[in-house]
Amino acid sequence: MKAIIVCTSVSHGNTKRIADVIGEVLDARVVEPGDIDAAQLADYDLVGFGSGIYLRSYHEDLRSFIEALPEERRSKAFVFATSGFPDKGIHRFSRPLVQLLEQKGFDVVAAFSSRAWDTYFPFKPFGGIRKGRPNADDLESARTFAEVLRGSVQDSLPGTG
Ligand SMILES: Cc1cc2nc3c(=O)[nH]c(=O)nc-3n(C[C@H](O)[C@H](O)[C@H](O)COP(=O)(O)O)c2cc1C
């Protein structure tokens, strides 16, 4: 299985730490959107997309990269994020990104999110919230997520059943 991870992590490197753990399990390179030519994505069986959450959305650099992709039949994909608050309720921040990826032709098979140090301005004077995260437990959860994902994608590839 060939996998790659496209990650934008600009605030504290929180998402990159998660990406590195997932990348280790999947034996996947972690690249920034500007470091990969969109056409190269066709070389992979699985593509991960991740960033921190900004005003309830994935980072604009990541979204613009995906928005610019032509619509065609594509590989499996997964999304991941770090954020101060959980990805739940009717305003799930992963939902619009999953829809965009599906529109571009990806089969989105999994989503992961972790709490992380958040210094958005209302919290900044107090040093932010969730300081110290992602912590060892969060990184372990990311590892478990990636192991399960690796198993399910490998099983679904042609010639592996
Ligand atoms: C300007 C700004 C806006 C943010 N908006 C949100 C938000 O809407 N929801 C949330 O849960 N976290 C929010 N956060 C927290 C970030 O998602 C969190 O710190 C994330 O881990 C940053 O990832 P990075 O270090 O990989 O860039 C915000 C942080 C900043 C600085």
Decide if 136 is inside a domain: yes
* Other C-beta atoms lying within 10 Å of the C-beta of residue 149: 22
Atom in ligand 1 nearest the alpha carbon of residue 10: 27
Decide if 161 is inside a domain: no
Atom in ligand 1 nearest the alpha carbon of residue 117: 19
* Other C-beta atoms lying within 10 Å of the C-beta of residue 14: 25
Decide if 71 is inside a domain: yes
The CATH number of residue 49's host domain is: 3.40.50.360
Q: Quick one: the chain helix, strand, coil %, rounded to 5?
A: 40, 25, 35
Q: How many domains does the chain have?
A: 1
Instruction: Decide: helix, strand or coil at residue 77.
Output: strand
Spacing, Cα 102 to ligand 1 middle (Å): 24
Q: Give CB contacts under 8 A, 24+ apart, made by 134-138.
A: 134/14, 134/17, 134/18, 134/82, 138/18, 138/114
pLDDT in tens, the chain (161 residues): 999 999 999 999 999 999 999 999 999 999 999 999 999 999 999 999 999 999 999 999 999 999 999 999 999 999 999 999 999 877 799 999 999 999 999 999 999 999 999 999 888 888 899 999 999 999 999 999 999 999 999 999 887 65
Decide if 118 is inside a domain: yes
CB distance 15 to ligand 1 below 6 Å: yes
Tell me which residue range forms the domain holding 118: 3-156
